[in-house]
Chains A and B, each alone.
Chain A
Amino acid sequence: MNRIDQLATSPPNVREPVCLYDDNGHQVYWVGSAEESPFRCNAYLIVNGDMAILLDPGSASHHFEQVSHRVSCILPPEEVTHIVAHHQDADVISSLPKWIELNPELVVVTTPRTRVLLPYFGLPDKVNWLDVSPNDNTVLELPNGQVLAFFTAPFLHFPEACVTFDETTGFLYTGDVGAAIEKDWQLVVTDWDAHWQTMVPFHVFYMANNRALKGFVDKMRPFPIKAILPQHGSVIPEGMVSQALDALAGLPCGIDLLYSDGNLQRAAKSLLR
């Protein structure tokens, strides 16, 4: 059962892990940090049979203690079998060496260009990797026969960032896409207009440009998305997914604004003349 709508009306205790979905042996938990910082970390744990997939577990310095404690309320942290890194920012994944120390056999799911950078956080020589292909054909088959499917999100904001779509739940885990910087944080968005105001500054500064955002939205929009779960900010419930995608697809950002007088377009036109 998808509990996100229920969590919007009855805010949960975020000092503990929060169950977002539980049905037929497939569970999803928010195991993020509840720190008093607008840049807080949403980590998520997907449990299905003997697989436990932890997404964007946060930094070593600020988040590992909280996130690992929350995971330990669900299962022993050394039983995490996979870690997904949607990109390599320190606030998203610098705790990776600590998770590998707990289970040296776990599999790290990420894109090849992210994989190049992760060892700088100090990884052991041997790491089990699953590369997310730029062909968007990478899946992780779960014991229930459904899959987690991985898609690239080019230049949002890392050149080879990626997202995860959970076919069982319809949850789209988006890393920094859909993220927000909020002082008055709540786990699930209840007021879209107010929440959009907290998403705009983040996307304007971090995302490459509108073309990247619109291309990503066009790619993901056909999927039956039941919620957007970013690494910062709040979970966007099913009733607001369409509004969120529309808003992102229409947002000028990054170099659209830096070169707002259209230098690039003018240069391109003059080349075509």
Chain B
Amino acid sequence: MSHPLFAQIEREMPGYLSAAIGSLDNSSAMSVHAAGGLSLDEAAAPLVAMVKAYTDTYEALGGRIDMGSNDEVLISASKGYLLIKVDHRSRRFIAVLLSSNGNIGFLRFQLRTWIRKLSA
């Protein structure tokens, strides 16, 4: 199943490898796209579990101290990044896998726009 945002993500993001749009409440509802070889499809179940764990951790902490609004989940490796942004209202998320020659700062900027589109 393809989401219209994927074409835009692939077009606008140098170093793009793969993207996923998923739901914290329904792990089978994840939509995945890949530019070529490596796809987030191969990690769908643990990806949803990880984002859910992150959200639960944040909410548990946020109830006790003022953490401010949360921003992102980032897995940073020597050859790439996996950056995830969650819309807490709709409980949906976007994950983008980027090679290390990609532009992580611009990805963050675009994810803020894309997550607003997703939740609109």
Binding site for B on A (CB under 8 A): 135-137, 139, 141, 147, 149, 151, 165, 167, 218-219, 222-223
Binding site for A on B (CB under 8 A): 12, 14, 68-69, 71-72, 74, 76, 103-106, 108-109, 112
Let me know if A222 and B12 touch, CB within 8 A: yes
Query: Chain A residue with minimal CB distance to B14?
Result: A222
Let me know if B106 and A223 touch, CB within 8 A: yes
B112 in complex: contacting residue of A135, A147, A151, CB < 8 Å: A147
A135 in complex: contacting residue of B14, B68, B71, B76, CB < 8 Å: B76
Let me know if A167 and B109 touch, CB within 8 A: yes
B78 to chain A, nearest CB (A): 13
In the complex, A151 Cα to B105 Cα: how many Å? 7
Chain A residues with CB under 8 A of B72: 137
Query: Contacts A136-B105, A147-B112, A151-B105 given; 12 further ones with Cβ under 8 A?
Result: A135-B74, A136-B104, A137-B71, A137-B104, A137-B105, A139-B71, A141-B68, A149-B108, A167-B112, A219-B103, A222-B106, A223-B106
In the complex, A165 Cα to B12 Cα: how many Å? 19
In the complex, A165 Cα to B104 Cα: how many Å? 14
A222 in complex: contacting residue of B68, B71, B74, B103, CB < 8 Å: B103
Q: A135-B76, A222-B12 are in contact. Are A149 and B71 (CB under 8 A)?
A: no
In the complex, A248 Cα to B4 Cα: how many Å? 36
Contacts A/B (CB < 8 Å), 20 sampled: A135-B76, A135-B104, A136-B105, A136-B108, A137-B71, A137-B72, A137-B74, A137-B104, A137-B108, A139-B71, A139-B108, A141-B68, A149-B109, A167-B109, A167-B112, A218-B103, A219-B103, A219-B106, A222-B14, A222-B106
